[in-house]
Structure 1
Amino acid sequence: MDTINVLNLTARNAPKILGFILRRRPRQLDGRWWSRNVPTHTRTTVAMTTRRRNALERMELGAVLAQYEMNLLRTLLVFSSIAVTLAACGADSSSSTIPDPTIATTTDGAVQGSSANGVIAYKGIPFAAPPVGSLRWRPPQPVSAWSGVRQATSFVHDCMQTSGTAPSALTVTPSEDCLYLNVWRPQRSNATAARNEKLPVMVWIYGGGYVGGGTSMPRFDGTQFAKQGVVIVTTNYRLGRFGFFGHPALTAAASQSGEVLGNYGYMDQIAALKWVQRNISNFGGDPGNVTVFGQSAGGESIHNLLTSPLATGLFQKAINESGNGRVNQYYGRTLTRNAKTVGASAEEQGALFAQGFGINGSDTSALQAMRALSADQIVDGLNSSTLNSPHSLATFSGGSIVDGKLVLDEPENLYKNGQFTKVPLMLGVNNADLGFSTPGISTKEQAYAIFGPQNLGAAAAAFDPSGTASVASIESQISRVITMDEPARFIARTFTSAGVPTYLYRFSYVAQSVREKISGATHGAEIPYVFDTLSSTYGTAVTSQDEQVAQRMIAYWAAFAKTGNPSDAGLTNWPAYDVALDSQMEFTPAGTLQVNQPSPLKAQIDLIEPLNDANKTVNRQYQ
């Protein structure tokens, strides 16, 4: 921890400390005066400045006071945790102790984490004010600073959601008061800390269809990343109607202020990234070497951060796991109705939702009435299983809203126009990933009809070369390629063509304990391998082969975060994507690493590409 940052004098408490010393100070402090007159908690915190002690031990108190006065008390003192430069004035060397490595300072106050197995974890650090009451459906607001040391040893709240598939793994109670993040960092030796070497930073954005998920999930534990020499941050963001919502009353209220509307969940992600820029150096991280990574809705979030002018400069690399990249979760969802709107606008959906509670109009009273609704009323049964119910489709935006300020358009349009942050990218999908089959398909001919009569033979050869596949399996594979495989190649080609280093992967491994039940790596199956948290999913059934795959994946991910090149992990060379070669790294079903050139799905992707390019599949990519 940087000693300058540790000197945390608040304007409220500094006069008391100075007054105490001015009334009592002798010309030179000695150990007996120190022990008699300085409170125990101050002596404890004073001992934390070991690295500065030798330089200060002959300094008289008057010189220190003069320094404080000349700086107009600009530094902050946090009780019981932060050392002052008086630390070693006349102190005997035997009284010095090693600074508490679990305490770190932020611009809002000091936090104390917990240390275990060479890693320090800080949990439940607020990065924005609780978005409740009048702050519901507002951009994230600053945190109120605190005095003393805030305990950061346990998760606080994940964001408000109802019971369902995703929230079942949460370890804390969801709440509307949820804007907290967590940090894991390696516990460094004093020598390493003294060199002030900054480590690469990774910021994780979870998935869950924008209606579920949270950082308390055990599979998102950052311990193993910290052991890889990375400072990792996991952050919450508002979900459901709390995070993605429009209403004419909100638009009217923001007409004078110009506040950004609609994508409050994305605003939270950006606020967390800004927190990282302000504070991560005090946790040993490098704010100039930040990698954002996310999966599913978190991956879609990455695409919208890459293409948003409001996120420019907040990260230097990105990793996208199963995040599509062509279109957002609900295509054509605009804040207000315009020529690009497909279906209802977010404002129209919000108005219909409010009407269900007897709230009409767009004036201040309507907004106050909506903010007076309980959190459970806002959730209104929304979760992953009800996301596509008629009521949810009519009253929830489904995620990203094209508002013209934060989200400018569908990702593919911005990528095609070169409107994106050109940073090194790693991305990929799973071999049994997400897809949305079309209801009513009962024959192979019906499944192939999407490709046109001229391509029926090519489709059969690509999707059923042996002629023995079932209609259901063919339709599922077509849907997966539409939603995941083709968009991943589209993104890889787009970034590579722009001169950006890009690395494509395919994850095909299935844990040995579940292979009899699961034939492929399903949506999200890679996460416990990426975080090396296999026991959170498979318990005691984890095998040595499973663990070897996890160790390889986390090593590649950490290497990319460090240098922008996963091959620096020292494993099988992972070549950058090449448009002509169509190269990708596969984590194979056998647990080995294999470079595919071209992708084994090239023929399938080639058939889907013109359909996705022409937006003929937008209603099949998610719905």
Structure 2
Amino acid sequence: MKKIVVLLAFLSIGSLNAQQSSTGSTVKTASGLVQGVVEGPSEVFKGIPFAAPPVGEFRWKAPQPVKKWSGVRDAGKYAANPAQAGWGAKPGTIAEGSSEDCLYLNVWKPANAAAKAKLPVMVWIYGGGFTGGSASSPQNYGIEMNKNGVILVNINYRVGRLGYFAHPALSSELPNEYKGNYGFMDQIAALKWVQKNIAAFGGDPKNVTIFGFSAGGVSVHSLITIPSAKGLFHKAIGHSSGGRDGVLTGRPINKENADVLYAVSAETIGMNFAKKQGITGTDAATLAALRVLPVEKIVDGGQETDGPNGPRTHSGPIFDGKLVVETAETAYMSARQPKIPLMIGNCSAEIGGAFVSNAKTKEELFASFGTLEAEAKAAFDPEGTKKFEEVIAKFNTDWVWGEPARMTARTFLAKGAPAYVFQFGYVPTSSQQRSPYGAGHGSDISFVFNTLGAHWGGPGGAAPTITPTESELARIMCGYWTNFAKTGNPNGANLPNWPMYNNQNQDILDVELDGKVVAKPDQRKARFDVIEKAMKNRDKIQSRGI
């Protein structure tokens, strides 16, 4: 059975106005002293290592301990992004500013926060299709969150083949160690760093919220259901994160889960990649040869064409059976997730085109639902007047992100945990002709961080014009998110009421096309209902990637 793999990257396309920096305070971490910089109302500690550089013998190994340092470490500059191809990088190179030495994080705290303030902590996990991303994007700066009394931690994690890779030679080396999901191991190592060190920055290690977008949102689901991540956080937020199966490859672990796995194992994919590099075998010498490959030969963004020996391009999460022991959907359906508050949602028109289905017309798309054809047509195009482009955009969005979010919210409710569901649909007037059906993938992120200059502005261009509607919407959303981090409830003073999700009314917070914030029953119910039925027969739906 084919599966959807969410491999969309969304990186900031602009930059905020530079903040005037001055020397900040010195904080004692478990590895040594760090000195940050004061930027406006925030104190920022940049490029703090949470694990040893994953290079040489540590390539494709679990994060190793940081070497302690003497003296004071300058935390005034961001570290490199994880090695990635990036846009515009020439073949045989990696993106400027990226490096295999990448296991660093950034801490944003209110400049006036006392060392024992016990402020709530939010840990951001970037998107990028598990092949790219950055913990230092201006879109994800923490100034406005700091103003709301929350500490922000942005973490790097390995991506692409450096972050998700399997090979028999790796499996044989120290077989009791976790294998394959090095990016997830990095995320867990960073969360352990937070537990051990954040109190020194004024944070509360007993009040940590993880949140992420796209691949970062998928990571949130994974962390919720990975046993070794238990207890490292206390609330979760998923942006365009899905929740159903479809992002794992590996080998069947047992009969219950065999149907959610790719037919080709992650080890086979790794061996095919090695063959392309002229490396064969499965012994220690093979592994040594792989570990001395130039990083540029390993990083290709996951876009390389499969070779004559089979697929070699998968670079996302792996069902290894030790770290990742089941899919999020399987865990949720069996109530094996922790009882923690959840906030989850997506944008209203994430992506169009042949993302899920190869259908070229509405009729062809509806026919792919088989016996549910009439119900699908009634749900997506009841009057028969919608353009195919609108129908396919809504179908893609609902199939990959919308209905899985509802499924996830329902399972959390069944566990007795509060769940809050949102849909973000705002599109600037100037962009509505280009995006007439709603907000695209990642449109909500700069509003959550209240960093609109980073999203709407172009690099090196004139300062963007931010309308009063946008400014107010960003204030509201940043307020919701930071309130949730504080209490598990997004509501607070000077914010429209956001009702907790329930199975009767299915109330959500809807940010409409014009930016109006409305709480109402989910208008997508009929579409979600038919997709939920189709999900039970995914192998019968004639579409690509399902």
TM (normalized to structure 1)?
Answer: 0.78
Q: Deviations over 1:485-512 (max 9, x none)?
A: 1101100111111110000000011134
Structure 2 CA distance for aligned equivalents of residues 356 and 171 of structure 1: 22
Q: Is the 8 A contact 1:502 1:577 kept in 2?
A: yes
Structure 2 CA distance for aligned equivalents of residues 553 and 197 of structure 1: 24
Match of 1:271 in 2: 189
Q: CA deviation at 1:207?
A: 0.5
Q: Deviations over 1:65-101 (max 9, x none)?
A: xxxxxxxxxxxxxxxxxxxxxxxxxxxxxxxxxxx85
Match of 1:486 in 2: 403
DSSP-derived class of the 2:491 partner: helix
1:600-619 aligned within 5 A = 600-616=523-539
From the superposition, tell whether residues 213 and 481 of structure 1 become closer, same or farther in structure 2 (CA, over 3 Å): same
Q: 1:118 aligns with which of 35, 38, 41?
A: 41
DSSP-derived class of the 1:318 partner: strand
From the superposition, tell whether residues 569 and 295 of structure 1 become closer, same or farther in structure 2 (CA, over 3 Å): farther
From the superposition, tell whether residues 440 and 555 of structure 1 become closer, same or farther in structure 2 (CA, over 3 Å): closer
Q: 2:301 aligns with which of 382, 395, 412?
A: 382
Q: Is the 8 A contact 1:325 1:491 kept in 2?
A: yes
Match of 2:337 in 1: 420
Q: Is the 8 A contact 1:437 1:620 kept in 2?
A: no
Q: Is the 8 A contact 1:200 1:561 kept in 2?
A: yes
Matched, 1:184 2:108: yes
- Relative to its length, the structure with more helix (as a share) is 1
DSSP-derived class of the 2:38 partner: strand
Q: CA deviation at 1:610?
A: 1.4
Match of 2:230 in 1: 312
Match of 1:524 in 2: 442
Structure 2 CA distance for aligned equivalents of residues 242 and 538 of structure 1: 31
Match of 2:369 in 1: 451
Match of 1:13 in 2: none
Q: 1:356 aligns with which of 266, 271, 276?
A: 276
Match of 1:284 in 2: 202
Matched, 1:460 2:377: yes
Q: Deviations over 1:443-481 (max 9, x none)?
A: 33221123324x333322211123222234323322221
1:414-563 aligned within 5 A = 414-434=331-351, 436-437=354-355, 440-453=358-371, 455-519=372-436, 520-539=438-457, 540-563=464-487
Structure 2 CA distance for aligned equivalents of residues 224 and 527 of structure 1: 13
**Structure 1, unaligned stretches of length 5 or more?**
1-99
Q: Is the 8 A contact 1:185 1:230 kept in 2?
A: yes
Match of 2:311 in 1: 394
Q: Is the 8 A contact 1:447 1:471 kept in 2?
A: no
Structure 1 counterpart of 2:57, which letter? Answer: S
Q: CA deviation at 1:622?
A: 5.8
Structure 1 CA distance for aligned equivalents of residues 246 and 324 of structure 2: 10
Q: Is the 8 A contact 1:157 1:174 kept in 2?
A: yes
Matched, 1:576 2:500: yes
From the superposition, tell whether residues 211 and 417 of structure 1 become closer, same or farther in structure 2 (CA, over 3 Å): same
Matched, 1:334 2:258: no
Q: CA deviation at 1:421?
A: 1.8
Structure 2 counterpart of 1:365, which letter? Answer: A
Identity of matched residues, %: 43
Structure 2 counterpart of 1:574, which letter? Answer: W
1:194-233 aligned within 5 A = 196-233=116-153
- Relative to its length, the structure with more strand (as a share) is 2
DSSP-derived class of the 2:47 partner: strand
Match of 2:17 in 1: none
Q: CA deviation at 1:102?
A: 1.9
Q: Which has the higher contact order (CA 8 A, sep 6+)?
A: 2
Q: CA deviation at 1:110?
A: 0.7
Match of 2:8 in 1: none
Matched, 1:137 2:60: yes
Q: Is the 8 A contact 1:103 1:110 kept in 2?
A: yes
**Structure 2, unaligned stretches of length 5 or more?**
1-22, 458-463
Q: Is the 8 A contact 2:348 2:394 kept in 1?
A: no
Q: 1:109 aligns with which of 25, 29, 32?
A: 32
Structure 2 CA distance for aligned equivalents of residues 510 and 611 of structure 1: 30
Rg larger for? 1
Match of 1:44 in 2: none
DSSP-derived class of the 2:232 partner: coil
Matched residue count: 508
Q: Deviations over 1:552-599 (max 9, x none)?
A: 1000000000000001354111111101111100111222211121x1
Structure 2 counterpart of 1:109, which letter? Answer: G
DSSP-derived class of the 1:399 partner: coil
